[in-house]
Amino acid sequence: MSIKPSLKTISKIPTYVPGGSKSDSKKTIKLSSNENALGTSPKVKQAFAKSKHELHRYPDATCVELREELGKYYNLPMEQIICSNGSDELIRMIAKVFASSGDEVLSSQYGFLAYEIAALAAGAKSVIAKEKNFTTNIDNLLTKVTKNTKIIFLANPNNPTGTSIPFYEIKRLHKNISKDTILVLDSAYSEFIDDKDYKDGLEFAKKHKNIVILKTFSKIFGLGGVRVGWGFGSKEVIDFLYKIRDVFPVSLPAQRAAIAALNDKSFTQKSKQHTIKWVKKLNEFFDYLGFDTTASKGNFVTITTTKKTKFTIDDFFEYLKTNGIVARPLKGYKMNNSLRISIGTNSEMKKLIAVAKKFCSGKA
């Protein structure tokens, strides 16, 4: 007798492989997971430490205090906010609630792999729209919309490419889809972007029932290790999600840490300035070395070898690894000639530049 899953799409689900953390050196510089280069706010560490006296207590199941703080921070009604164990959990929950067998879940070609996984795990069909120059193309998305399209997942800025599109393109997409289709805007990296034509979608979502905005504390707030995400949408949609949430989705220390993170704007501003500075420097540097770059708007850069490059991306990745630097290969996204490199500290970035220079000079 063999055990067989009842989920028919299980064989199609790709296994998500996170960024590596080990190199061939005793001291590893981890630039593979888009973590905050500056670590975590001192206020967060204090709040987290204080929670050790209450570890025997269950956390607030609905994260009331955290939702109140989020409401103040982003000017949102707290009853339309839901908190989760990372925004990844909300992606799965949305797919489970709004899509099933016979339905379609649409996303962009190089969008976050979690969208496809969530769609297939819900028993739905994952539909992919081609991109142009590693950037979401709204026309291509619209050509893929059918009467069976129940959810559209769109990250802006996108991971792993780092590219973004202006908000008027988001509005054009929304205008041309059914009111029964849920448009999910994943704004995990929104706090890093300053473009005048960019918006995270929160204000737009206040006016429309079929839009959900996803956010995370893992990036600019530096809380990747404690897993806190949240979503905002119409009360109708959020109430549906509450029905299937975990009983205690966010731990007590994590809730305390997230609240403290919201109250340290100097740390987030410093993180933003540091990130923008190094993204610009690295894009210019890798352009100079002959790579194609994507003008990333996240806390990372994405580089691609070209026909003119005298080495493969695998060669470069292995050389970095040999020298203690771990980046993120993107073969799982079918970006076989690309590498994603997170922003690190000043000293880590200087070492990256030195190692990359040495490698490329030897290939000239």
Class of 42-264 in CATH: alpha beta
3-state SS string over the chain?
CCCCCCCCCHHHCCCCCCCCCCCCCCCCEECCCCCCCCCCCHHHHHHHHHHHHHCCCCCCCCCHHHHHHHHHHHCCCHHHEEEECCHHHHHHHHHHHHCCCCCEEEEECCCCHHHHHHHHHCCCEEEEECCECCECCHHHHHHHCCCCEEEEEEECCCCCCCCCCCHHHHHHHHHCCCCCCEEEEECCCHHHCCCCCCCCCHHHHCCCCCEEEEEECCCCCCCCCCCCEEEECCHHHHHHHHHHCCCCCCCHHHHHHHHHHHCCHHHHHHHHHHHHHHHHHHHHHHHHHCCEECCCCCCEEEEECCCCCCCCHHHHHHHHHHCCEECEECHHHCCCCEEEEECCCHHHHHHHHHHHHHHHHHHC
**Predicted confidence band at 9 (pLDDT cuts at 50, 70, 90)?**
confident
What is the reported pLDDT for 330? 96
What is the reported pLDDT for 25? 60
pLDDT score of 12 more than 90: no
What is the reported pLDDT for 24? 64
Distant-in-sequence, close-in-space partners of 137: CB < 8 Å, separation ≥ 6: 108, 129, 130, 131
Q: Please write the tens of the pLDDT for every residue from 168-205.
A: 999 999 999 999 999 999 999 999 999 999 999 999 99
What is the reported pLDDT for 272? 97
Mean pLDDT on 250-274? 97
Q: How far apart are CA 267 and CA 276, in angstroms?
A: 14
What are the boundaries of each domain within the chain?
Answer: 13-40+266-363, 42-264
Q: Please write the tens of the pLDDT for every residue from 87-134.
A: 999 999 999 999 999 999 999 999 999 999 999 999 999 999 999 999
CATH topology of domain 13-40+266-363: Aspartate Aminotransferase, domain 1 (3.90.1150)
Burial of 351 (0-12, 13-18, 19+ CB in 10 A): middle
Q: Please write the tens of the pLDDT for every residue from 69-94.
A: 999 999 999 999 999 999 999 999 99
Burial of 168 (0-12, 13-18, 19+ CB in 10 A): exposed
pLDDT score of 19 more than 90: no
What is the reported pLDDT for 15? 66
Q: Please write the tens of the pLDDT for every residue from 287-318.
A: 999 999 999 999 999 999 988 888 999 999 99
